[in-house]
Structure 1
Amino acid sequence: MSLNTETVAAPAPVNQPQPLRRRTTSFRDKWADSAFNVASVTILTLSIVAVVYPLYFIVIASISDPNAVYEGKVWLFPSGVTLEGYQRILADSRIWNGLGNTVIYTVLGTAISVTTILFGAYALSRKDMPGRKFLMLLFVITMFFDGGLITKYLVVRDLGMLDTVWAVVLPGAVGVWNLIIARSFFENTIPGELREAAQMDGANDFTFFFKMVLPLSKPLIMLMIMVHVVAHWNSFFDALIFLNDDTKYPLQLVLRNILIQSDVSSAGTTGGDIESYAAAQRIGELTKYAMIVVSSLPLMIALPFMQKHFTKGTMIGAVKS
């Protein structure tokens, strides 16, 4: 008895992975990558030098002989080292008074601006807030239309803020651009479900804002603090317009007046002997460079400690989900 055997064909393989072919890198690709790396490093190096060297030159010029600076001998290392410029500035009581005023204006102005922006931006980010689009439109209009300096002065005068600290910190307390950035951050970072969960647990709006929103907004807060600290520290125009008492002048305005005074003093000696004029010019140059260093040094020391927060906060509100 014979058995009939049937030949059964093996099933065809389904979607078998094909072996990957290694892509060979041609000489042209290697050359292009090397050229790109060299060009990138060169451009970045030149950019760093272009930014850092002027700061370095101001520092070495502030401790060098002004005659050597005029002759072009000071470009990499100081020449004829002297600290006369710093001694003259730091011996002036107006500098210390202006520094104290600047610290007050910076701390108070930053606190007011950051607090106002955080509260206002969070309120505008809430979709259940009535009239938020109309209010946002009013804020945006102020970015394109301004009443001008005279109108601003009249408002400050009528409010009784002339020659007071409030004339320096209140008129520009809310920056609309910073308000928009903060609002976008709250809209894209704080989900509505989180607020609903907090409300189910019995938290009201103030509890949710202080207990949950602010702890989640540290990069935004640090960014706002840094931006306003730099703005208030370098500000002098509002003080120039609204302050009459020189004992309330900030540091930048004091340094400006000292520089103008030194220029006037050197110009007043043109009718005298050449030696007096040269000495006045020398003192003026030393004072000019030293003033730049004195006014910039506190921020240069503080900003590196805030750099990591600035890196996290630069892209805040840039992407809308």
Structure 2
Amino acid sequence: MAKQSTAIKRSPADQAVQVLLYLIVGAFALITLLPFIYIIAGSFATERELTERAFFLIPREFSLNAYQYILRTGDVFKGLKNTVIVTAVGTFINMFLSCTLAYPLSRPYFKGRVFFTNMVIVTMLFPAGMIPMYMVVDSLGLKNTFWALWLPGAINAFNMIIIKNYFQGLPMELEEAARIDGCNDLEIFCKIILPLSKPSIASVSLFYAVSHWNSYFNAMMYISDSSKEVVQIVLRRIIFLTSSISSDSGFDWGIWGAPPEKAVKMATTVVATVPILLVYPFIQKYFTQGVMVGSVKG
């Protein structure tokens, strides 16, 4: 017996529209990628090529001098290590506190749920400000410690609400069945709620991780110990030093000479951006689902 085909037959007009949509989306994707490709290509280019060609995607002559300058001028590896620590531990703290706050606020039987939710929303509308935050960090003795980068933003109200709304959309029958089986609140949270909330948790974790990775102003304000500098501060110092690049600096730059200032800036952008971009493909499948579901459930 022949199997019936379940494929939907599209009319020529539908197929033409679908092709047009793919072309439009592809064009927008290309427009988005072109600046990144140009920055990567420019970081490997020579001074002559950057001067003569206004835009290119593949350099005619490859030069690693910009990356050599970054590696020999600043403590990039130390900055990357500190940034990885700040990002990993900070994201864990953010997610632990956000999830443990979001869970009780998502339960309809929790007394005072509306009051505490409104208190969280108020912090979004009326932030404390830079000076009061600095005074609190200083008075607690957190300056020149990573805690100054972790604790002030331990919970982002918007991200917490996304998680709360996702928890709220899970069927209450699952929790009731778990209670009948003898589970307490902690077991329900760890064994049922969190495993079912992977899309939301993955998406919000990415938000927190990107925020920590790009942390520049707080690191500049609270960290003055060079051994605790994050990579953003190290790269900033390297860019300031590019004006002093000289072929007479005693370093053999090779046949291309000292790297141009523009190439160094592009190389610092690549070093600061590529590592966090490599994380996205691993959670891309959760990203759209997690954000959309968490944002529409009331």
TM-score (norm 1): 0.81
**Aligned pairs (5 A) from 1:188-227:** 188-189=169-170, 191-227=171-207
Q: Structure 1 stretch 169-178 or stretch 40-49: which is displaced more?
A: 40-49
CA distance in 1, matches of 2:77, 2:12: 60
Residue 259 (1) aligns with residue 261 (2): no
Contact 1:73 1:79 in 2 (8 A): no
CA distance in 2, matches of 1:223, 1:83: 35
Other-structure match for 1:104: 85
Q: Structure 1 stretch 152-161 or stretch 33-42: which is displaced more?
A: 33-42
Q: Structure 1 stretch 153-162 or stretch 86-95: which is displaced more?
A: 86-95
**Aligned pairs (5 A) from 1:132-281:** 132-189=113-170, 191-263=171-243, 265=244
Displacement of 1:35 in angstroms is: 6.6
SS at 2:45's partner residue?
Answer: coil
Other-structure match for 1:308: 285
Displacement of 1:316 in angstroms is: 2.1
SS at 1:235's partner residue?
Answer: coil
Q: Encode CA deviations 1:102-156: one digit per residue, 9 max, x unaligned.
A: 0110011000001111110001011222211111111101111122111110111
Other-structure match for 2:297: 320
Other-structure match for 2:25: 44
Residue 129 (1) aligns with residue 106 (2): no
Q: Structure 1 stretch 197-206 or stretch 37-46: which is displaced more?
A: 37-46
CA distance in 1, matches of 2:146, 2:116: 28
Answer 1 or 2: higher relative contact order, Cα 8 Å, separation at least 6.
2
Residue 94 (1) aligns with residue 75 (2): yes
Displacement of 1:34 in angstroms is: 6.9
Cα gap change, 1:149 to 1:319, in 2 (>3 Å): closer
Q: Encode CA deviations 1:270-319: one digit per residue, 9 max, x unaligned.
A: xxxxxxxxx77x43222111111111121222211221121331312233
Cα gap change, 1:129 to 1:34, in 2 (>3 Å): closer
CA distance in 1, matches of 2:111, 2:22: 53
Q: What root-mean-square deviation, in Å, do the aligned CA atoms of Structure 1 and Structure 2 show?
A: 2.4
Cα gap change, 1:38 to 1:200, in 2 (>3 Å): closer
- Structure index of larger Rg: 1
Contact 1:185 1:317 in 2 (8 A): yes
Q: Structure 1 stretch 36-45 or stretch 306-315: which is displaced more?
A: 36-45
CA distance in 2, matches of 1:237, 1:162: 14
Give the aligned residue type for 2:222: F
Give the aligned residue type for 1:40: L
Q: Encode CA deviations 1:240-281: one digit per residue, 9 max, x unaligned.
A: 111111221110111011112224x369xxxxxxxxxxx77x
SS at 2:272's partner residue?
Answer: helix
Displacement of 1:55 in angstroms is: 0.7
Contact 1:121 1:183 in 2 (8 A): yes
Give the aligned residue type for 1:206: L
Other-structure match for 1:6: none
Q: Structure 1 stretch 69-78 or stretch 131-140: which is displaced more?
A: 69-78
CA distance in 2, matches of 1:104, 1:112: 12
CA distance in 1, matches of 2:12, 2:173: 51
Displacement of 1:93 in angstroms is: 5.3
Aligned pair count reads 280
Contact 2:40 2:270 in 1 (8 A): yes
SS at 2:279's partner residue?
Answer: helix
CA distance in 1, matches of 2:95, 2:217: 21
CA distance in 2, matches of 1:34, 1:198: 49
Displacement of 1:36 in angstroms is: 4.0
SS at 1:315's partner residue?
Answer: helix
SS at 1:70's partner residue?
Answer: helix
TM-score (norm 2): 0.86
CA distance in 2, matches of 1:293, 1:237: 20
Q: Encode CA deviations 1:2-42: one digit per residue, 9 max, x unaligned.
A: xxxxxxxxxxxxxxxxxxxxxxx9xxx966x5774464344
Contact 2:74 2:235 in 1 (8 A): no
Cα gap change, 1:209 to 1:55, in 2 (>3 Å): same
Give the aligned residue type for 1:118: C
